[in-house]
């Protein structure tokens, strides 16, 4: 198939951001490195002292008090009528008027792909449901996307914006991916459908095939994301309940200034992460609840050679006051992190909370995944005041040999992981740290933590600079 005619202009629009910028090393960064080596507690305090300034720079977009009700453009909320054209018309009118709110009122509105434009808030009111069509044809023509960290042209995400400024999806209504009604899970499960396309795309990325020639979509089996903002600025996702996505749920990629607040994610099919900020900066995820069949929040930055080509890190990511009930990690970094990750902050989150029982228990409240196939770096993950229970495996798992069978020769660096004031009851162990003989894990620091119901010992390999200060395990202080 042939992609959308605007493919070339879309690639040009994102080129400047994708190219990345090399910044000089500031004197303050050199000083920070010296503090990290000599005094981990001071380094953590210095990092956390930056948080107010980071949050002050993350400002949700505002929209004019203009409202465009989709029913005025022909939409019918009967659960049967397909309303893609009506919703698109309302979005176009709102954008041309200078911005505002596109209203989805009470009712069940079936739709295909929704493409947002600058200045538009798609507002799904209480009692309103956007039910996404199970027909893959409703997500064509293909759009520029990033699929598991590699750029390509593929089925449109269900809600998509590309190179827009000031876009939002808000309201107390529901986005229903209806993934169980579509073919998406069968593409993943059989191994004979998605697998060949997945391997082909990774090969294209590793071999440097031009993005314009990485054509998927019709006749292929790469599942679309639920909500993706691609190369956007000033993004807001607020108050919604999002259920049954076909793959990753909320995916800001190559974005700046993103707020995700007070959403609930129910995603129980395979490979359905909650929120995946990728190669993005100034991202605030707060007050959210995750019941997922994969990672809850997963910070990413591109995969393998294609991630290095784009070369944009994720940085200044803040996660606060969230409930984590997910099959793998609570706060996760990787495994697609080839562009690098720096300054991830997570605080006041609850693991497997009894008042929000998830379908799966969290395996790792804090989970970092890297490898020499990916390369790249993780520099600074700061976690404090996590509480919870019934962790299936380790509280902190750092694995620098993720998918070790893939091989690879890229240098990889993971350093400065801080956990403080955490209280977890029930885990297989507290730490599982897997560095590499050639690329050591450097600087893992625990302070003022209390772990109870721990069933086994830590496992630590090729790790330098591990410190524990005022840490108790099953009532015994560990130094």
pLDDT of residue 23: 39
Instruction: For residue 94, report the phi and psi dihedrals to the nearest 5 degrees.
Output: -65, -45
* pLDDT digit string, tens, across residues 116-165: 999 999 999 999 999 999 999 999 999 999 999 999 999 999 999 999 99
pLDDT category of residue 29 using cuts at 50, 70 and 90: low
pLDDT category of residue 455 using cuts at 50, 70 and 90: very high
Nearest to 301 by CA among 276, 283, 282: 276
pTM of the model as a whole: 0.92
pLDDT of residue 81: 98
Q: Answer whether residue 172 shows pLDDT above 50.
A: yes
Cα–Cα distance between 63 and 242 in angstroms, integer?
23
CA dist 295 to 174, 299, 361, 368, 396, Å?
21, 10, 11, 11, 14
Q: Give me the DSSP letters along 454-477.
A: E-S--EEESEEEEEEEEEEETTEE
The reply to whether 273-479 shares the fold of 53-229 is: yes
Cα–Cα distance between 469 and 395 in angstroms, integer?
16
pLDDT of residue 36: 59
* pLDDT digit string, tens, across residues 268-312: 999 999 999 999 999 999 999 999 999 999 999 999 999 999 999
* Tokens (6 digits) for 384: 């404090």
pLDDT category of residue 406 using cuts at 50, 70 and 90: confident
Q: Answer whether residue 169 shows pLDDT above 70.
A: yes
pLDDT of residue 403: 86
* Tokens (6 digits) for 89: 């018309």
Q: Domain boundaries in the chain?
A: 53-229, 273-479
206: which residues sit within 8 A by CB, 6+ positions away?
Answer: 304, 305, 306
- CATH for 53-229 is 2.160.20.10
Cross-strand pairs, 251: 228
- Rounded percentage of the chain residues whose pLDDT exceeds 70: 92
Q: Answer whether residue 13 shows pLDDT above 50.
A: no
Q: Answer whether residue 94 shows pLDDT above 60.
A: yes
CA dist 428 to 391, 432, 458, 473, Å?
7, 10, 9, 12
Question: In angstroms, how far is CA 466 from the centroid of its own chain?
Answer: 28
pLDDT of residue 37: 60
Once rounded to an integer, what is the mean pLDDT over residues 172-180? 97
Range 273-479: architecture per CATH: 3 Solenoid (2.160)
Query: How many helices and strands (H and E) does the chain possess?
Result: 8, 37
Q: Specify the pairing of strand 476-478 against strand 463-473.
A: antiparallel
pLDDT of residue 2: 38
Check if the beta carbon of residue 364 is closer than 8 Å to that of residue 330: yes
Once rounded to an integer, what is the mean pLDDT over residues 355-380? 95
pLDDT category of residue 358 using cuts at 50, 70 and 90: confident
């Amino acid at each position: 198939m042939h992609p959308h005619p605007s493919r070339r202009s879309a690639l040009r629009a994102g080129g400047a951001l994708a190219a990345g910028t090399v910044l000089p090393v500031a004197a303050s960064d050199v000083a920070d490195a010296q503090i990290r080596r000599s005094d981990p507690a001071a380094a953590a305090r210095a990092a956390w002292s930056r948080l107010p300034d980071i949050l002050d720079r993350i400002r949700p977009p505002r929209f004019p008090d203009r409202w465009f009700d989709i029913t005025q453009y022909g939409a019918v909320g009967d659960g049967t009528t397909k309303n893609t054209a009506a919703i698109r018309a309302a979005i176009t009118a709102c954008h041309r008027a200078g911005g505002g709110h596109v209203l989805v009122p009470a009712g069940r509105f079936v739709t295909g792909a929704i493409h947002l434009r600058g200045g538009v808030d798609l507002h799904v009111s209480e009692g309103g449901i956007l039910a996404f069509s199970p027909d893959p044809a409703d997500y064509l023509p293909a759009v520029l996307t990033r699929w598991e960290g590699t750029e390509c042209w593929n089925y449109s995400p269900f809600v998509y914006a590309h190179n827009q400024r000031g876009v939002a999806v808000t309201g107390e209504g529901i986005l229903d991916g209806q993934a169980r009604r579509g073919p998406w899970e069968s593409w993943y499960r059989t191994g004979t459908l998605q697998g060949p396309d997945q391997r082909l795309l990774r090969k294209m990325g590793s071999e440097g095939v031009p993005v314009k020639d990485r054509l998927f979509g019709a006749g292929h089996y790469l599942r679309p994301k639920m909500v993706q903002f691609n190369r956007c600025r000033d993004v807001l996702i607020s108050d919604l309940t999002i259920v049954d996505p076909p793959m990753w749920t909320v995916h800001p990629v190559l974005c700046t200034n993103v707020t995700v607040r007070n959403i609930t994610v129910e995603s129980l099919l395979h490979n359905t992460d909650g929120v995946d900020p990728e190669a993005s900066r100034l991202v605030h995820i707060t007050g959210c609840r995750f019941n997922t069949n994969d990672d809850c929040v997963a910070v990413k930055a591109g995969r393998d050679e294609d991630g290095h080509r784009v070369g944009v890190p994720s940085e200044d990511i803040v996660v606060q006051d969230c409930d984590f009930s997910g099959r793998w990690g609570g706060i996760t970094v990787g495994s697609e992190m080839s562009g690098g990750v720096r300054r991830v902050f997570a605080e006041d989150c609850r693991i497997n909370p009894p008042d929000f029982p998830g379908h799966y228990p969290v395996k790792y409240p804090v989970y970092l995944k890297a490898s020499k196939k990916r390369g790249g770096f993780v520099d600074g993950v700061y976690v404090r005041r996590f509480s919870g229970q019934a962790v299936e495996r380790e509280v902190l798992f750092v694995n620098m040999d993720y998918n070790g069978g893939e091989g690879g020769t890229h240098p990889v660096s993971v350093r400065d992981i801080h956990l403080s004031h955490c209280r977890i009851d029930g885990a297989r162990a507290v730490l599982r740290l897997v560095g590499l003989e050639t690329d050591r894990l450097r600087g893992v620091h625990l302070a003022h933590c209390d772990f109870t119901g721990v069933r086994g010992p830590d496992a630590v390999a090729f790790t330098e600079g591990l410190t524990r200060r005022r840490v108790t395990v099953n009532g015994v202080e560990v130094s």
